[in-house]
Amino acid sequence: MAEVNETGGESLQRREVVKALLADRGDLLVVAGLGAPAWDATEAGDHPLTFPLWGGMGGAVMIGLGLALAQPTRNVLVITGDGEMLMGLGSLATVGVTRPTNLSVVVLDNEVYGETGQQKTHTAYGVDLAATARACGFVAASVVTAHEEIAPLRAAIHAGAGPLFAQVKISSEQMPLVLPPRDGAQLKNRFREALLGAVAHTAA
């Protein structure tokens, strides 16, 4: 089942990566892009301060940016897929201009559109998302391929010295669906209540 990556090691598996990144998450605020990253985040543990997306393709990084600007003392992690990231490439430029230190973007890159029949994405043809992020002004941007790089990535996400970008190469095997709640208003309300307290329902 395990694939072998280009450097000869065993390919990273998406669920293990997400579970490791979300371990002991502390104050971390999380946005999970639509499709498999949302299922991965849910499998790691549904949480009121995780906002899983069922739509808005191409918008995950911008949601993270709005959140990071609103909550400058909290670290924000966007976990999304390569297809979702490609649809919102311009948002990397927008983050590069805004430069919030508390924002991290992790792209789980399996080089395919997994939800629609494993069609290849642009990254399968060599489009380098990490280089794009670096060129847009992210202070750190790397391609992650090995297990031993995940713990340092988690530490960097919590260090708040971003904006940080990581393109994590993962195997393209499909995992069982683990679905988060679907009601967007409920997801929003529980997030705001957990973050802001009772004022979440009275402030306007």
Partner 1 sequence: MDTAGSDWSQQLYETLKRQSIKQVSMVPDAGHANLIRLCEADGEMKLVRLTTEEEGVALAVGAWLGGDKSVLLMQSSGVGNCVNMLSMLSVCQVPLPMLITMRGDWAEFNPWQVPMGRATQAVLEEMGTLVSRADHVEDLAPLAEGTLRIAFNTLRPAALLIGQRLLGAKTFGK
Q: Which residues bind partner 1 (CB under 8 A)?
A: 29, 31, 51, 54-71, 88, 90-91, 93-94, 97-98, 184-185, 187-188, 191-192, 195-196, 199-200, 203-204
Q: Residue 50 or residue 142: which is nearer to partner 1 going by CB?
A: 50
94 versus 171: smaller Cβ distance to partner 1: 94
CA dist 34 and 55 (Å) reads 6
Other C-beta atoms lying within 10 Å of the C-beta of residue 10:
12
Q: Quickly list H helices, the chain.
A: 14-22, 36-43, 60-70, 82-87, 90-98, 129-136, 150-159, 184-196
How do beta strands 112-113 and 119-120 pair? Answer: antiparallel
105, β-bridge pairs: 78, 165
Closer residue to partner 1, CB minimum distance, 17 or 61: 61
DSSP string for 47-88: -TTEEE-SS-TT-HHHHHHHHHHH-TTS-EEEEEEHHHHHHT
Q: Which is nearer to partner 1, 120 or 188 (CB)?
A: 188
Rounded to a whole number of angstroms, the minimum distance from the CB of residue 9 to partner 1 is 35
Closest distance between partner 1 and the C-beta of residue 31, in Å? 7
In the bound state with partner 1, the residue whose beta carbon lies nearer, of 80 and 142, is 80
Shortest distance (Å) from residue 199 CB to partner 1: 8
Least distance from partner 1 to the Cβ atom of residue 142, Å: 23
The least distance separating partner 1 from the CB of residue 151, rounded to whole angstroms, comes to: 27
The residues near 172 (Cβ < 8 Å, ≥ 6 apart) are 3, 110, 111, 112, 114, 118
